[in-house]
Structure 1
Amino acid sequence: MTQPGDAVTFRLGYVPGATPGKWARIWAERRPDVPLELVGASTDEVVDRIRAGTVDAGVVRLPIDRTGLHAIPLYTETTVVVAPKEHVLTAVDEAGLDDLADDVVLRPQDDTLPWPGDRPGRAAVYDPPTTAEAVELVAAGVGLLVLPQSLARLHHRRDLTHRPVADAPQSSVVLTWPDAENTELMEEFIGVVRGRTANSSRTPRREGPSPSAAATKRPSRRRTARRR
């Protein structure tokens, strides 16, 4: 939590696979006076930090406990299956859950997909604690892995590939922050995320006088006729 006298910083938590770099660049252009600090963590950790006041907002995957929080949707991720490059699935452009029925499908404990019921494929004898470890097991030939495409790209390996899974559940990503009156900085960041231009931002600007105002202060340059 920022204390009186501390330098002002806007802190944004984000989950693995999220890419807030574009927003950070726009923020730096618009608010060079306020550093944007990026804090990587899991969804649960980001939500806990928002409630504790150690980050101002977070980019997280649903579901979350939205008690006391605002949340606006950002995008829905494509779901893919990660497999070794020699796997039969590499022969298709898009897979279905039925195509995974005979394979072992790993179930990492940090899985983010909202499965409505039974998961596809056969369960492994071991549920890895993290997605990163599950990817290593796929590379070792233990099984396949179904996950959001952003995580597949994050854990990319040259010996693995991925294909979209048409009928798999998808992960929704939201921006969340405390359910209270928005601060000026929060309004500014919402504007960045929603693609508002600097001129259309709801927050007051800090530049100098507007061109129209400056024009009223300039002396008139009309030429007067010289008397001969």
Structure 2
Amino acid sequence: MAASGARDGRGGKKPQRGSGAPKGRSGGASKSAASKAGASRGKNPGTKSGKHAAARTGGAKKTAPAAPAAPRTALPAGPFRLGAIEGATPGKWIDVWKERMPGIPLDLVALDLGDQRAALTDGAVDAALVRLPIDRTGLQAIALYDEVPVVVCAADSHLTAADELTLADLAGEVVIVPEHPPLDVVVAGAVPPRFAPPATVGQAIETVAAGVGVVIVPMSLARLHHRKDIASRPLVDAPVSPVALAWPEGETPPLVEAFIGIVRGRTANSSR
């Protein structure tokens, strides 16, 4: 009796011709092809689906243009006239001025104690480093720093035996007071000079160098008028000498405002 189908050598039935690949293998190939086709469509920005995706995300965000910075107020051409009493040290602030405003000159005007206020009220200077106390009528001022008082005496004076002095150490000494004293110090038991007050601190120190008396001044003035035949010692219980920046009352001029900003430590871009 004839067999219903041919068998292979292992006893199994041979597949029919034309029956195609097994179902599982054919389905796998179809899914792989579909995945590749989908990936290709998703990557192609020119396809319809790519346009719809761009529409859903809104596309690239556009950055709004920055608003233009407000123009800075132009400063006057200058010059800025800065007065300075003897012994004041405005050098660091002048350096900052030159760095920030190289096109605006700063004129430094030397002032004596006797005319520091008049220079401001008469308009000889725009602002000034003054030594306090000062009559502030019609003026504005901000404190800057304090100076230590010292006793200036002859280099061979017995007062140099101490590293520092007190007011009591000056009892019995001839204390010279200049016509416009930089310090208002009362020394109990001091001997008044038998000559007219010297016109300036420099003249008072010359008198001290000749071996006549002592003079009490801020440390900066002792250094300014230093000589080999004099010595100085700190006076520990005397009042300090304050230095301030002063300018006339009323609306503050732009150049004065700029210098105030410098002494107060403002940066170049900071507002008032």
Question: Would you say same fold, with TM above 0.5?
Answer: yes
Q: Give the structure-1-normalised TM-score.
A: 0.80
SS at the partner of 1:162?
strand
**Could you say if the C-alpha distance between residues 144 and 63 of structure 1 is closer, same or farther in structure 2, counting changes exceeding 3 Å?**
same
User: Which residue pairs with 2:261 in the alignment?
Assistant: 191
Shift of 1:201: 4.8
Q: How does 1:111-130 map to 2 (within 5 A)?
A: 111-115=181-185, 117=186, 121-126=190-195, 127-130=197-200
Letter in 2 for 1:16: E
Structure 2 counterpart of 1:60, which letter?
Answer: V
TM-score for both structures, normalised by structure 2: 0.68
In structure 2, the residue matched to 1:171 is: 241
Q: Could you list the per-position Cα deviations for residues 1-58 of structure 1 after superposition, in whole angstroms to 9, with x for gaps in the alignment?
A: xxxxx95210001100001111111100011111010000123423212212221101
Q: How does 1:133-144 map to 2 (within 5 A)?
A: 133-144=203-214
- Note the C-alpha offset of 1:119: 5.8
Q: How does 1:53-72 map to 2 (within 5 A)?
A: 53-72=123-142
Secondary structure, counterpart of 1:181 in structure 2 = coil
Displacement of 1:125: 0.5
Identity among equivalent pairs (%): 52
Q: State the AA in 2 paired with 1:177.
A: W
Q: CA deviation at 1:100?
A: 0.8
What corresponds to 1:159 in structure 2?
229
Structure 2 CA distance for partners of 1:198 and 1:72, relative to 1, 3 Å: same
* Distance apart, 1:131 and its partner CA: 1.2
The answer to whether the 8 A contact 1:105-1:120 is kept is no
| Distance of 1:107 and 1:50 partners within structure 2 | 25
Which deviates further from its counterpart, 84-93 or 100-109? 84-93
Cα distance, 1:197 vs. partner? 2.1
CA deviation vs aligned residue, 1:150-192 (integer Å, no higher than 9, x gap): 1111111012110100111222111100111222211110011
Q: Residue 22 of structure 1 aligns to which amino acid in structure 2?
A: K
Unaligned runs of 5+ in 1: 1-5, 203-228
RMSD of equivalent CA atoms: 1.7
Show CA shifts across 1:81-135 (max 9, x none): 01122222222111001101121111111212123x5566211101222211111
Do 2:129 and 2:246's aligned partners in 1 also have CA atoms closer than 8 Å?
yes
SS at match of 1:172: strand
Q: 1-side partners of 2:250 and 2:189: how far apart? A: 41
Q: Within 2, Cα distance between the matches of 1:77 and 1:120?
A: 25
1:97 touches 1:120 (CA, 8 Å); kept in 2?
A: no
- The one-letter amino acid paired with 2:168 is D
CA contact (8 A) 2:152 2:231 kept: yes
- Whether the 8 Å CA contact 2:83–2:125 is kept in 1: the answer is yes
Equivalent pairs, count: 196
Instruction: Return the offset for 1:199.
Output: 2.8
Moved more, 9-18 or 38-47: 38-47
Letter in 2 for 1:124: P
1-side partners of 2:264 and 2:205: how far apart? 33
2:90 aligned with 1:20: yes
Give the secondary-structure state (helix, strand or coil) at the position aligned to 1:124: coil
Paired with 1:129 and 1:45, the residues of 2 have a C-alpha distance of 13
Q: 1:120 to 1:136 in 2, by over 3 A?
A: farther
Partner of 2:48: none
What amino acid sits opposite 1:73 in the alignment? A
Distance 1:119 1:181 in 2: 45
Select the residue among 96, 117, 122 that pairs with 1:47.
117
SS at match of 1:189: helix
Residue pair 2:113, 2:180 contacting (<8 A) in 1 also: no
**Maintained 8 Å contact 1:107/1:123:** no
- Distance, in Å, in 2 between the alignment partners of 1:175 and 1:38 is 14
